[in-house]
Amino acid sequence: MNLQHALMYLVTNYPILVYGVIMLSSYLEGPILALLCGIFYRLGYFHLVPVYFALMAGDLIGDCFWYYMGYRFGHRFISRFGKYVSIREADIAKVERIFHAYKDTILLVSKLTMGLGFALVTLFTAGMVRIPFKRYIALNVMGQFVWTALLLTIGYLFGHLYVSFNNVLARVSLVSLFVIVIFLLFGFGKYVRSRISKTA
């Protein structure tokens, strides 16, 4: 049984397991997984509604976790573990100023732009500054609807191109381009973060 048949077998016979793994994995690396799920959906391995909500749920679980850590532990967590998850006191101070200036807008913008390098800091700071949880989760759900749909759509379009190309060289070139685009997106986020750090 090759990989394609194995995946189809698992989705057909153990859908709860498959979508459960997607949900838990989305908590760890949501954007890349959403792109891949869009590709697999186009190739016919996944159903749209369960994969969409599994990706959403995983990301939102992560949002709740970081809100709780900021709300419950705050500066104690940063001093002990912040360096391991790229959360620094200086970044917290910057995001706090943004929260005071733009309030709810920063949560939506952060969700729709992968935080531009400040995603975890934004979620953590929301807990620290005691953003009401109902408002926090409502804004994140709204942003997540759009963000997940966008990533799935991009993956779907990539999968459509992949199916359209009939020769191996064209498919290899397309996959290489896809990988380059992902690296460019993450590189752009790091660049924006570095610029903000220098100017803020």
Q: Decide if pLDDT at 155 tops 70.
A: yes
Helix (H, G, I), strand (E, B) or coil at 51: helix
What's the pLDDT tens digit per position in 169-185? Answer: 666 776 777 777 766 66
What's the pLDDT tens digit per position in 127-140? Answer: 888 888 998 899 88
Q: Decide if pLDDT at 99 tops 80.
A: no
Q: Which one is predicted more confidently, 68 or 113? A: 68
The alpha carbon dihedral of 173, 176, 182, 186 has a sign of negative
For 115-132, letters b (16+ CB in 10 Å) and e give bbbbbbbbbbbbbbeebe
Paired tokens of 84? 């391991």
Q: Where are the domains of the chain?
A: 3-199
Residue entry with tokens 């850590």? 69
pTM of the model: 0.77
Q: CA–CA separation, 163 vs 181, rounded Å?
A: 19
Paired tokens of 59? 């990301």
Q: Decide if pLDDT at 88 tops 90.
A: no
